[in-house]
Amino acid sequence: MLTWLIEPLEFEFMRQAIAIGLSLGILGAVVGSYLILQQMGMMSGVISHAVLPGISIAFFFEISVVIGAFIAGVLSALVVMGIQKRSRIKVDAAMALTLTSFLALGVILITLLGTNQINLEEILFGDILGVTSGDVWRTILITVIILLLTKLFYKELEFYTFDPLGAKASGLPVNLLYFGLVCAITLTIVASMQTVGVLLVMSLLVGPAITAYLLVQELSQMMLLGSILGAVSSIAGMYSSYYFDLPSGAAIVMVIFAFFLLAFLFSPKQGLLTEPEIKNKVINWLKFSK
């Protein structure tokens, strides 16, 4: 058993992949908890797809794609907020329009700017085994900064999350809080691009958070349990990828889904098979079958 655990760690690429996966598992759960409680889970999908135009422009001007992706991601979230607040259009429709428009713009820019050298498969699906030590330290730095800011402004963010109208009435800068949350989401997505790719990063942001949501009541507990689930999922996914020759990003996502499925079925208070009515029906059925 010990050999099974230690063997992958003999390779530097596995140590780096596990380190970055551990950081992203924690980061995704903390940021994702706010998204879930504000019913903004799809915002992660909007931003993760909207980074493509920024990547293309950054690649054309030979600057860091991280900068381009971050600017495009934040801009897409601001577009969603602008459409929602300045019209009768609901947020889900605004998200759908923004997501498809930014994604289409990215594809067009790749053609017009001649940036066909961009590895779309790596951006979309990730390559955690190809991360460098620089990627690891950048991700750890992003994680530490966001965790510190979350700790510093926890009460304000909690108030805004559960009662945005009350937060605005009390004088809190709700637009600034929204912008800060968007920046945190975008940084998480940019950091996750190399790992699971933009198409699967939604699972890293949403999966551990909603799993914890089924098991605990408090926001702080949700963030803590979600971080544990995200970290364990990342490590378990990496080991599954190593021993069963599976795509690393997809393996991580499936472990996340497995944890969610267990919580969905067996959560003490909200589980599908543990709800009093269903539990009584199962017991009665077992008695009848005997």
Alpha-carbon distance values, 245 to 53, 200, 251 (Å): 32, 19, 10
For residue 90, the surrounding DSSP H or E stretch is: none
pLDDT tens digits, residue range 201-252?
888 899 999 999 999 989 999 999 999 999 999 999 999 999 999 888 889 9
Phi, then psi, of 53 in degrees rounded to 5: -60, -40
222 touches 212 (CB < 8 A):
yes
Output the CATH code of domain 2-289.
1.10.3470.10
**Cα separation of 273 and 264, whole Å?**
8
77 touches 186 (CB < 8 A):
yes
% the chain with pLDDT above 90: 51
% the chain with pLDDT above 70: 93
pLDDT tens digits, residue range 46-85?
998 899 899 999 989 989 888 999 999 999 999 999 998 8
**Cα separation of 66 and 14, whole Å?**
23
Q: How many CA atoms lie within 13 A of 127 on its CB side?
A: 8
Q: Is the pLDDT of residue 290 over 60?
A: no
CA 60: distance to chain centroid? 27
50 touches 71 (CB < 8 A):
no
Say how many C-beta atoms besides its own lie within 10 A of residue 180's C-beta: 18
Phi, then psi, of 88 in degrees rounded to 5: -85, 0
- Four-point Cα dihedral 39, 44, 49, 55, nearest 10: 140
pLDDT tens digits, residue range 271-288?
888 876 666 665 666 666
Q: Considering only the C-alpha atoms of the chain, give the largest distance between any 2 of them, rounded to a whole number of Å.
A: 73
3 state SS for 179-220:
HHHHHHHHHHHHHHCCCCCCCCHHHHHHHHHHHHHCCCCCHH
Q: How many CA atoms lie within 13 A of 89 on its CB side?
A: 16
